[in-house]
Chain A
């Protein structure tokens, strides 16, 4: 079974731009969560989607948004990028019956200059 895939793997943007990251969960997984990982703050929860609905949200500004499609694929968008948004963005998927056993993708490394 293929794992979680994320595209692109690397991205360089400038301040003020916006960016969209994509995540394809493991087949059969309907829950998708997004995390931001930085050296200073570690892994921080952004939001979780299930059946195309945002089920949970972390403590991030409204510039961070996401959505989930009917095939469970998910995208996250960051608008008006700031230097501090530079991070590894990780997507994780899980089964309905085991919501806390999350399987992570390789991440998208975003650099904002």
Chain B
């Protein structure tokens, strides 16, 4: 089963608003990654984080690797309609190589 708690489950926002979502776990992770999945497609890698405290941006997206290594957040600034989709956090546990995924945050952007 999943060991990542991702929230919120869904968000309905107005175009131009900023968005924030996060993932938490009771376990320590070595990496945190954020993906976006559009209907009928596979997830697309947005940002990868490798160090506690690391803050990385990709255009309007910013993600951080929590200091405790048990959480991460993703921010999207000035949302646009094409930001619609499901965002997943993922990571690999410190003592395990396989990847774990959050349940996803479904984002809807109203024009």
A84–B43 Cα gap in the complex (Å)?
A: 22
Interface hits, A60-113 → B, CB 8 Å: 90, 92, 98-107
Contact indicator per residue, chain A 1-38, by CB within 8 Å of chain B (1) or not (0): 00010000000000000000000000000000101000
Residues of chain B contacted by A53 (CB below 8 angstroms): none
Contact indicator per residue, chain B 1-38, by CB within 8 Å of chain A (1) or not (0): 11000000000000000000000000000110101000
A17–B62 Cα gap in the complex (Å)?
A: 45
CB distance from B47 to the nearest CB of A (A): 10
CB distance from B107 to the nearest CB of A (A): 16
Residues of chain B contacted by A98 (CB below 8 angstroms): 48
- Residue of B42, B45, B90, B99 near A105 (CB, 8 A) is B42
Q: Is the Cβ of A104 less than 8 Å from the Cβ of B2?
A: no
Tally A residues with Cβ within 8 Å of B: 25
Q: Is the Cβ of B42 less than 8 Å from the Cβ of A45?
A: no
Q: Interface extent on B, as a size class?
A: 20 to 34
Q: Which of A44, A58, A100, A102 has the most CB of B within 10 A?
A: A100
Residues of chain A contacted by B104 (CB below 8 angstroms): 42
Interface of A is mostly: strand
Q: Is the Cβ of B45 less than 8 Å from the Cβ of A33?
A: no
Residues of chain A contacted by B97 (CB below 8 angstroms): 48, 55-56, 99
A92–B42 Cα gap in the complex (Å)?
A: 9
Q: Is the Cβ of B43 less than 8 Å from the Cβ of A104?
A: yes
Q: Is the Cβ of B42 less than 8 Å from the Cβ of A107?
A: yes
Give the B-binding residues of A (Cβ under 8 A).
4, 33, 35, 41-45, 48, 55-58, 90, 92, 98-107
Q: Return 9 A-B CB contacts under 8 Å, by A number.
A: A4-B42, A35-B101, A43-B43, A43-B88, A48-B97, A90-B42, A99-B97, A100-B99, A103-B45
